[in-house]
């Protein structure tokens, strides 16, 4: 219950706003990510500046998201904070305006809606920032792989000694079949 309540914070009531630009600020932290069971990001500390431009028949919403997300290095397995600074934009149209395709950039609300829920947008925007391959020395700042950990890992069978990369256990099984 606590969790659902928390996401209510990420709603912008726009119906009472005058036409023009309005600015909002949201904090996105661990509590936010806790609300999403499948979130790739579990921890983070970000600030979202939201500029909502209200027009006669639509809303233009610009996001500027800054802060850090906690990632795990795929090489040395240590956790590190990866800095983020990016912008996103979404258009919000209303159904009576003869617009019925919902695309990535266009959200469709009903004429009777009076607030914009940005929690889902923030969730998506931040989660797509998680790189397919994380490396502390690449996405982190002033960090490099933990040498002790690297040594430990290179001793374990999980690492392919030739390439120094983690191998997929499924390939190992295939290799064994092939070798038989
Ligand atoms: Zn590392």
What is the full per-residue pLDDT of the chain (180 aa) written as tens digits?
Answer: 455 688 999 999 999 999 999 999 999 999 999 999 999 999 999 999 999 999 988 999 999 999 999 999 999 999 999 999 999 999 999 876 555 566 667 888 988 899 999 999 999 999 999 999 999 999 999 999 999 999 998 887 555 545 555 556 565 555 555 555
Tell me how far CA of residue 87 lies from CA of 81, 152, 175, in angstroms.
19, 40, 45
- pTM > 0.85: no
Q: Calculate the dihedral angle through the C-alpha atoms of 96, 98, 101, 105, rounding to the nearest 10 degrees.
A: -80
Asked if residue 74 lies in contact with residue 138, where contact means CB atoms within 8 angstroms, the answer is no
CA 49 to chain centre: 15
Nearest to 84 by CA among 130, 43, 39: 130
149 Cα to the center of ligand 1, angstroms: 9
64 Cα to the center of ligand 1, angstroms: 28
Tell me the residues surrounding ligand 1 (ion) with CB < 5 Å: 73, 75-76, 136, 145
Residues in contact with 20: Cβ distance below 8 Å, sequence separation at least 6, in sequence order: 53, 54
73 Cα to the center of ligand 1, angstroms: 5
| β partners of residue 123 | none
Between CA 93 and CA 62 the distance in angstroms is 15
Which residue's structure tokens are 């709603």?
11
83 Cα to the center of ligand 1, angstroms: 15
Asked if residue 5 lies in contact with residue 117, where contact means CB atoms within 8 angstroms, the answer is no
């Amino acid at each position: 219950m606590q969790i659902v309540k928390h996401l209510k914070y990420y709603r912008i009531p726009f119906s009472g706003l005058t036409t023009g630009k309005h600015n909002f600020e949201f904090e996105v932290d661990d509590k936010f990510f806790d609300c999403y069971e499948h979130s790739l990001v579990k921890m983070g500390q970000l600030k979202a500046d939201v500029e909502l431009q209200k027009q006669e028949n639509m809303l233009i919403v610009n996001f500027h998201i800054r802060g850090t997300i906690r990632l795990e290095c795929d090489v040395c397995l240590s956790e590190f904070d990866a800095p983020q600074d990016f912008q996103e934009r979404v258009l919000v149209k209303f159904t009576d305006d003869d617009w019925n395709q919902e695309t990535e950039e266009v959200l469709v609300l009903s004429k009777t809606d009076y607030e914009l829920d940005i929690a889902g947008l923030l969730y998506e925007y931040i989660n797509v920032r998680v790189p397919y391959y994380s490396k502390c020395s690449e996405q982190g700042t002033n960090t490099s792989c933990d040498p002790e950990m690297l040594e430990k890992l290179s001793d374990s069978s999980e690492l392919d000694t030739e390439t120094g990369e983690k191998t997929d256990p499924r390939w190992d099984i295939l290799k064994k079949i092939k070798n038989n």
